[in-house]
Amino acid sequence: MVYKLRIILDTKENIFRDVEIKDKQNLWNLHLGIKSAFSLMGDDLSVFNILDEDGVVVKTVPLEDMSDDGEGEIMSDIYITEAFQKSGDKIHFQYGFMDLWEFFCELIEIIDEKPAVNYPITVFRFGKMPLKAPTKNGTKAKRNGVITLSDDEFPSFEDEFKATSFDVDDDEDDDDFDDDDNFDDDDFEDDLN
Contacts of 63 (CB under 8 A, 6+ apart): 28, 31, 45, 46, 47, 74, 75
* Spatial distance between the Cα atoms of 42 and 165, rounded to a whole number of angstroms: 50
At residue 145, the 3 state secondary structure works out as helix
Q: Assess whether the previous peptide bond of 120 is cis (omega < 30° from 0).
A: yes
Q: 44-53, 71-80, 142-151: lowest mean pLDDT where?
A: 142-151
Q: Across residues 110-116, what is the average pLDDT?
A: 94
Q: Tell me, what's the pLDDT at 8? A: 97
Structural domains of the chain in order of their starting residue, each with its CATH number? 2-126 (3.10.290.30)
User: pLDDT band at residue 157, thresholds of 50, 70 and 90?
Assistant: low
Strand ranges in the chain using DSSP code E only, listed in sequence order: 2-9, 16-22, 46-51, 57-62, 90-95, 101-111, 121-126
| Cβ 41 vs Cβ 74: under 8 Å | no
pTM over 0.75: no
Q: Tell me, what's the pLDDT at 15? A: 96
* Spatial distance between the Cα atoms of 148 and 168, rounded to a whole number of angstroms: 40
- Kindly report the average pLDDT of the chain as a whole number: 81
With 60 as the cut, is the pLDDT of residue 166 above it?
A: no
* Spatial distance between the Cα atoms of 112 and 121, rounded to a whole number of angstroms: 14
Q: Tell me the one-letter amino acid at 159.
A: D
With 70 as the cut, is the pLDDT of residue 147 above it?
A: no
Q: Across residues 128-153, what is the average pLDDT?
A: 60
